[in-house]
Amino acid sequence: MTTKIRCQWCLSSDKMVDYHDTYWGVPLHDDRELFAKLILDINQAGLSWSTILNKQENFYKAFDDFEIRKVAAYDELKEQELLQNSGIIRNKLKVKAAINNAQRVLEVQKEFGSFDAYIWSFTKGKVQQHHIEDGEVTPATNELSDRMSKDMKKRGFKFTGSTVIYAFLQAVGVINDHVKTCFRYAELSGK
């Protein structure tokens, strides 16, 4: 039996390995799931991804499965309920950002037809293939994340700095940052 070679960052737990093998870097085109990933990546700011991954089910439950219209309509009462929920990250600015960003996604959907069309418009629908060697440091930002972050901020999105957006782009497959020796690199790059 041969052992699959994976990106080093995922080897800390079975849950991380499953996330890496199944979801991370796979091109995503569903508006609700894109919104969910954005909110999860915003909540990761200042924390480890494993912390968010371990709370992911709680986030989906607390945020009504990330139904964009529902989150956009949250009121002060719902905001307070979220801030009391120990199963998620109880950061007032991040909770407010989720509600605000749901409202911004609805605006983007009106303009572009879908959140998906907006996200993928930055690369004309193509995956940005990085060719990271094993042991090479993966960047935290790039020109694409800088450009998207700037545009999102101009549209009123919150907590969408270039580092958060870079992590989001990796997660939803706009950027393929699997190392070249990882079995997912070949699958996702067609090499």
| Lookup result for tokens 């749901």 | 102
Query: Which bin fits 139, alpha (ψ -120 to 50), beta or left (φ > 0)?
Result: beta
Distance CA 181, CA 4 (A): 10
Residue 11: burial class (beta carbons within 10 Å; 0-12, 13-18, 19+): exposed
Distance CA 31, CA 39 (A): 12
pLDDT band at 136 (very low <50, low <70, confident <90, very high): confident
pLDDT band at 77 (very low <50, low <70, confident <90, very high): very high
Kind and range of the H or E element at 39? helix 31-44
- What mean pLDDT comes out for the span 167-190? 93
pLDDT at 176: 95
- Global pTM reads 0.95
